[in-house]
Structure 1
Amino acid sequence: MRIISGKLKGRRITAPKNLPVRPTTDMSKESLFNILNNHFNFSELTILDLFSGTGNISYEFASRGAESIISVDGDMGCVNFIKKTAKELELNITPLKSDVFKFIEKHQSSYDIVFADPPYGFTQEQFETIVKGIFANNLVSEEGMVVIEHSKHTPINHLEHFSFEKNYGGSVFTFFEIASEEEDEDDDE
């Protein structure tokens, strides 16, 4: 994988082959960050990266100057790899080993962007639980955004706070915002 933009642009990171991951492709990642770039100034952002895997998305946020990044994954190998890489590259990423569902349920902070890339094999119900839990537990700030990466075979655009989605081959990024619901209400008046 490579970092697409920011202070580490072009830097290649090689993850161990034995990690249970499916990294976001460079093309999809570039498209995602082009969208986010139109909504946010990265230097002021707090990020929560759920199911962070190799840390691919976290490194991109850090390279672009995000204020702080929490990377959560249930696999100790992934967490150790992120910790090692963040230290080597001097990135402000805090990796945490946790079951993501328990983390969502118990965590007390909110973030400007919550990104989640659960295993594509998760059920529809599991994807819905993630999105609903993020909003129910106030993990995203009022002006923030939730981005879920998922298979095109697992639609989640019917959930509350849905804003828009973008398809990239077999992958979909679905975006959720608290503000989008308020804007819809304003349009009705």
Structure 2
Amino acid sequence: MGLIDGILGAVFGGGRNVLVDTAEVFRVNREAESKRAFQMHAAAMASHSAEFTRGGKGWFDGFMDGLNRIPRPAMALGTLGLFGAAMVDPVWFASRMQGIALVPEPLWWLLGAIVSFYFGARHQAKGQEFQRSIADTVARTPAVVENIGALDRLRSDVVGVAETGPDAVLEKTATKSGENPALEAWKQSLT
């Protein structure tokens, strides 16, 4: 018996498993590989999410964000105002349009470039904000899945939801019939 204990102690003793250690030289430990892959994925998601968070914005950033929101509504409302002015006072509108007709063509090109760059930059900023929201959503997915699982376990239509388990007192209390005034009234109405 001592010989067998000595051999088994040499192979499996000391908190090590010589067979597993030897096998891992030739073949990857799948559990450790899965842990590494999970940690790498979690770190990549955290890095991606941190890249798109809005942490540390001050009053100036908020002011500039508000200022950046002005041009589109101003252009839309200004165009509608011009239509209204054309209907209310056509002579005034026509005189203003004659002034616009005198604007040189290079200035129109410059205006077109400025508006194009503004809307292009706005489109890019909105696209990055969309990516940020996707990263946040993906980062919250495990918690949502866990919450859905917890809610599913609370459903009353699942088989065995009222199972008392080994608790004898709970089973006796659950199966004890009590008074039911509605049932008694119904029984009385039948007789």
TM-score, normalised by the number of residues in structure 1: 0.18
- Higher normalized contact order (CA 8 Å, seq sep 6+, divided by chain length): 2
Q: Return the index of the structure with the highest Cα Rg.
A: 2
- Structure ranking higher in strand proportion: 1
- Structure ranking higher in helix proportion: 2
